[in-house]
Structure 1
Amino acid sequence: MTRLLRTLMMLMVMSLSGHLPAAIYEFSSPELQERFEELVYELRCPKCQNQNIADSNSPLASDLRDEVQRLLEDGYSDEAIRNHMTDRYGEFVLYKPQVNERTAILWFGPAAAVLTALIGLFWWLRVKARRDHVAAEAAPQVDEMDEQRLAELKRQAADYEVRRD
């Protein structure tokens, strides 16, 4: 029974190991630890493509975490670390890329697409309303004289039908 319990405990520990950080990092101050935790969640793993380096188990992400720790201990600011990573791996490494001429489409493209669609919808509705208005004005207006003439024609047609039978 104890052997089974030990085996189950080992399996549970092994299954949880994927959720634990790959390495425990030691820092000279708690502020550096906090900055490290913020930075590793802001930086994307170039290999995993949609994971930050805190969650990735790839060797490259581990190297990047080591690099961030080293740079923090060397006194680099958060912005300097982001710039260093961007210089080495490109804008892709940042989850929130900087706004510049190369990334403008990422920042403003969705808004431009929605605005274009709204303008197109407004234009289409306006053209449709104009067509409906023109069609309503172009429709023949029936006045009282026309109604009398129509009634007369109906009566004549009915008389003709009666005589023909």
Structure 2
Amino acid sequence: MRYLPILMLLAGFWLALPARAAIDVYEFDSPEQEDVFRELVRELRCPKCQNQDISDSNAELAKDLRDKTHEMLLAGSSKREVIDYMVARYGNFILYKPPLMASTLILWLGPVLVILLGLGVVLVRTRRSRRGRSEALSAEEQKRLAELLNKDKEN
């Protein structure tokens, strides 16, 4: 009985091990390096998670990317050099805001072109249906329509 409290304490520690959260701690030479690191991990997208930046992602790949970013900054790389390295390795997909290039032009202009094309189709179909209605009336129907319109104007 006297070992029961110790056993319960050990069991509690053992059960709590899976709940332990890993927190990455990165040391920097200056506050400016830390600011650049924070900006970079918010600008770079996790290739595995796709809609999370590498600072929010729990994927192993995101942790590796954070570690590589930290390592490059400590080695003296600039923000642009880190971004260029990541783009060379993972493509423009890793950037939340891909640059405007020929290969990404469809991403930027695609939605606008689809909307304009849809409006064009609606306008053409509307005009055709209006023309088709007036031409579809026979001579007798057009005469009757004119009479009804004239009667309406007189009243």
Q: Give the aligned partner of residue 149 of structure 1.
A: none
Q: Give the aligned partner of residue 98 of structure 2.
A: 97
How far apart are residue 128 of structure 1 and its match? 1.6
How far apart are residue 101 of structure 1 and its match? 1.4
Equivalent residue runs for 1:118-157 within 5 Å: 118-135=119-136, 139-142=141-144
Equivalent residue runs for 1:13-162 within 5 Å: 15=19, 17=21, 21=23, 23-135=24-136, 139-142=141-144
How far apart are residue 71 of structure 1 and its match? 2.1
How far apart are residue 121 of structure 1 and its match? 0.9
TM-score computed with the length of structure 2 as normaliser: 0.71
How large is the Cα RMSD of the aligned pairs? 3.1
What is the alpha-carbon distance in structure 1 between the residues aligned to residue 80 and residue 134 of structure 2? 60
What is the alpha-carbon distance in structure 1 between the residues aligned to residue 32 and residue 78 of structure 2? 12
Deviations for 1:89-132, whole angstroms, at most 9, x for unmatched residues? 11221122111111112121121111111111111112122223
What is the alpha-carbon distance in structure 1 between the residues aligned to residue 117 and residue 20 of structure 2? 48
* Runs of 4+ off more than 6 Å: none
State the secondary structure of the residue aligned to 2:143. Answer: coil
How far apart are residue 80 of structure 1 and its match? 2.3
State the secondary structure of the residue aligned to 2:108. Answer: helix
What letter is aligned with 2:48? K
What is the alpha-carbon distance in structure 2 between the residues aligned to residue 132 and residue 32 of structure 1? 71
How far apart are residue 70 of structure 1 and its match? 2.1
What is the alpha-carbon distance in structure 1 between the residues aligned to residue 137 and residue 33 of structure 2? 73
Greater CA radius of gyration, 1 or 2?
A: 1
State the secondary structure of the residue aligned to 1:75. Answer: coil
State the secondary structure of the residue aligned to 1:113. Answer: helix
When the two structures are aligned, how many residues end up with a matched partner? 139
What letter is aligned with 1:122? L
TM-score computed with the length of structure 1 as normaliser: 0.67
Question: Percent sequence identity over matched residues?
Answer: 41
Deviations for 1:8-35, whole angstroms, at most 9, x for unmatched residues? 9x85x96472xx64x1111122222122
